[in-house]
Amino acid sequence: MSKTIDQNISAKSLAVRASLTREVPDPSCSLQQERSQWNEAARGVALAPRCQATEDRIGDVPCLWLSPGETASEDLLLYAHGGGLVTGSILTHRAFASELATALKRKVLLVGYRLLPEHPFTAPRDDLVTLYKALLAVGGYKADQVIFAGDSSGAAVAVAASVDLGQQNAPQPRAIVSLSGAFDTSLSGDSFKALAGKDPLLSPGVLLDWQKHFCGKIDLKDPVISPLFADLHNIAPVLLLAGDHELWLSDSERMHLALQAAGVSSSLSIYPGMWHVWPMWPSLPETSDAFREIDAFLCQTS
């Protein structure tokens, strides 16, 4: 199923859009500096009210539990953060994960996977798989209680992990939730150019600059980092949410078609006027809509 949400962009989202600054490459900023700046900016952001954060290490993978004040399900969202596989952390995404946990009334477990390019290209996927298997083996969870989720490149990690589990004939999670998935490191989607003037957050230049971390080191269409090109047969059902003004829109659209061609249950919803991973702005009406859609999807797949 594919649909465009039948509503106009809210006044609050229009105001936020007007405040956004489109990212452009900064040659003077190293990858380590970029990581540090994002971590420092996130350090003071408060968690959702009554949500508790607890650090843990499971299967030798660092992680963070986000437990809402009220739970309505034994489900667990195993969440892979975005950041292009080279930035982002538990710290940068803990506030958002707390909002997600509170809205869905379900626990969220943030995965502190190893970043690229200093680790093997399989590391993010492998860390998610390791943590998932540990949850099943010693954590008291059943496969049908666990949902893989992620934003941007984190959604790619979630899909790649599901593909890897299928190749191992291991139990699949119940479902996968993708927020503005970045599934193609080669940047071959039409929206990369077509929406260059509409995306209020990302520029083609900043994505091309990000791509340098992979060029000459791995095939940009290798399914490990670009699961759009993976064998997607028999993976878990997928919900794809995307904004119609984001450069990555084509990735969600093409992933939806690829999943359908592989016989996988896939739902795609495109939100008018929205930018990359807009649900990280918790006060937007469109964020509430996205959370309600995720909740309905999880209830439908239970």
Looking from the CA of 97 toward its CB, the CA atoms found within 13 Å total: 32
- The per-residue pLDDT for range 205-224, each reduced to its tens digit, is 999 999 999 999 999 999 99
Instruction: Please tell me the total count of domains within the chain.
Output: 1
What does the pLDDT read at residue 89? 98
Which is catalytic among the residues 246, 252, 266, 269?
246
Q: How would residue 139 be classed by pLDDT, with cut points 50, 70 and 90?
A: confident
Q: Is the pLDDT of residue 153 over 90?
A: yes
Which is catalytic among the residues 13, 98, 152, 178?
152
152 part of the active site: yes
Q: Average of pLDDT values for 237-244?
A: 98
Q: Average of pLDDT values for 260-274?
A: 97
Q: Is the pLDDT of residue 5 over 70?
A: no
- The per-residue pLDDT for range 68-112, each reduced to its tens digit, is 999 999 999 999 999 999 999 999 999 999 999 999 999 999 999
73 part of the active site: no
- Cis preceding linkage at 117, omega within 30: yes
The enclosing domain of 104 has a CATH number of 3.40.50.1820
Q: Average of pLDDT values for 188-194?
A: 97
Question: Is the separation of the CB atoms in 95 and 164 below 8 Å?
Answer: no
What does the pLDDT read at residue 8? 82
Whole-prediction pTM: 0.96
Q: Average of pLDDT values for 192-197?
A: 94
Distances (CA, A) of 187 to 60, 179, 205, 208, 250: 33, 17, 11, 8, 9
Percentage of the residues of the chain whose pLDDT score is greater than 70: 98
Enclosing domain of residue 133: 2-301
Phi, psi of 107 (to 5 degrees): -70, 145
Closest CA to 198 of 232, 245, 234: 245
Q: Is the pLDDT of residue 37 over 90?
A: yes
Cα 244 to Cα 238: distance, rounded to the nearest angstrom: 19
The first and second tokens of residue 241, run together, are 């949410």
Q: Is the pLDDT of residue 6 over 60?
A: no
